């Protein structure tokens, strides 16, 4: 890997760590668990916030099937971050549904754990494909472990700093790497669409109550789940169709 590329990547990681050390503790707001649409329908509490997680099961399963496509990977080992990612997407459906049945901080752990696995798996894939394959091969498992650790660190200390960094650093780094580094595979535009739909999901989450007050049918948070599912659906589309553009000598 070129020295300048390594230095830039390392500097951004160190910058994120420095921000985490300098920020004051961030505590979980109890109001976080209060969602606009708390209706019980079909005997299901918070029905639409629970059921809107169903697409994650479908997308995770389709994604796992797509990872069997050999042409989608320059090296055999490159499929494993994707397998982990799609297992995490399946787990989001389970964990988020469980949390929304009776929202509280204890259940929120099971919502956030699979999300960090997916965030870090996506980031690991981008490092492999846009920074350096060998570096990414060594980093993707520690990155996922770091994401998991950030959730347990929050739960044991009531300090969200590291969880926030684990979530938002990839949201900044991934678009920059897509912009600055050439792709090794076709259909890289699917990653851009993933980012667009995830950004829409965050906006919908922010306007949860306003959307529900406006339409009286569905809340911003339920729509956030659907937009997030559309975001990861583009990953399935990508793996199903992409081909290798550049396959330099890699690892086993």
Calculate mean pLDDT across residues 84-99: 98
CA 56 to chain centre: 12
Q: What is the pTM of this model?
A: 0.90
- DSSP 8-state secondary structure symbol assigned to residue 216: S
Task: Answer yes or no: CATH 1.20.1070.10 is held by domain 49-241.
Answer: yes
Residue boundaries of the structural domains of the chain: 49-241
* β-strand partners of 41: 44
What's the CA gap between 213 and 109, in Å, rounded? 29
- pLDDT tens digits for range 31-88: 999 999 999 999 999 999 999 999 999 999 999 999 999 999 999 999 999 999 999 9
Calculate mean pLDDT across residues 160-189: 88
Assign 123 to helix, strand or coil.
helix
**CB proximity list for 229: less than 8 A, separation 6 or greater:** 55, 56, 59
Q: What is the pLDDT of residue 251?
A: 36
Torsion sign over Cα 162, 129, 88, 100: positive
Band (8; pLDDT cuts 50, 70, 90): low
Q: Are 229 and 59 in contact (CB under 8 A)?
A: yes
**Where on the phi/psi map is residue 187: left (φ > 0), alpha (ψ -120 to 50), or beta?**
left
Q: What is the pLDDT of residue 248?
A: 43
Q: What is the pLDDT of residue 200?
A: 98
Q: Which of 55, 58, 34 is nearest to 46 (CA)?
A: 34
Neighbours of 78 (CB within 10 A): 23
Q: Are 165 and 150 in contact (CB under 8 A)?
A: yes
Q: Which of 87, 79, 136 is nearest to 115 (CA)?
A: 87
């Amino acid at each position: 890997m070129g020295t300048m590329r390594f230095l830039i990547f390392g500097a951004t990681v160190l910058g994120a760590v420095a921000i985490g050390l300098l920020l004051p503790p961030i505590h979980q707001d109890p109001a976080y668990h209060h969602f606009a649409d708390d209706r019980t329908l079909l005997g299901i509490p918070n029905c639409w916030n629970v059921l809107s997680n169903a697409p994650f099961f479908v997308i995770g399963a389709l994604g796992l099937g797509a990872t069997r496509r050999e042409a989608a990977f320059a090296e055999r080992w490159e499929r494993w971050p994707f397998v982990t990612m799609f297992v995490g997407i399946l787990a989001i459906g389970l964990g988020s549904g469980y949390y929304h049945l009776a929202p509280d901080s204890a259940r929120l752990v099971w919502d956030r754990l699979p999300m960090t696995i997916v965030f870090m798996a996506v980031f690991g894939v981008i490092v492999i494909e846009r920074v350096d394959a060998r570096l990414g091969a060594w980093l993707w498992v520690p990155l996922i472990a770091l994401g998991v650790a950030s959730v347990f660190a929050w739960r044991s200390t009531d300090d969200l700093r590291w969880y926030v960094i684990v979530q938002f650093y990839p949201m900044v780094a991934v678009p920059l790497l897509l912009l600055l580094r050439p792709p090794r595979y076709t259909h890289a535009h699917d990653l851009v669409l993933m980012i667009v739909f995830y950004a829409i999901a965050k906006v919908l989450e922010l306007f949860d109550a306003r959307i529900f007050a406006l339409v009286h049918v569905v809340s911003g948070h339920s729509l956030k789940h659907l937009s997030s599912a559309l975001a990861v659906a583009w990953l399935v589309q990508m793996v199903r169709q992409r081909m290798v553009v550049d396959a330099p000598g890699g690892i086993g």
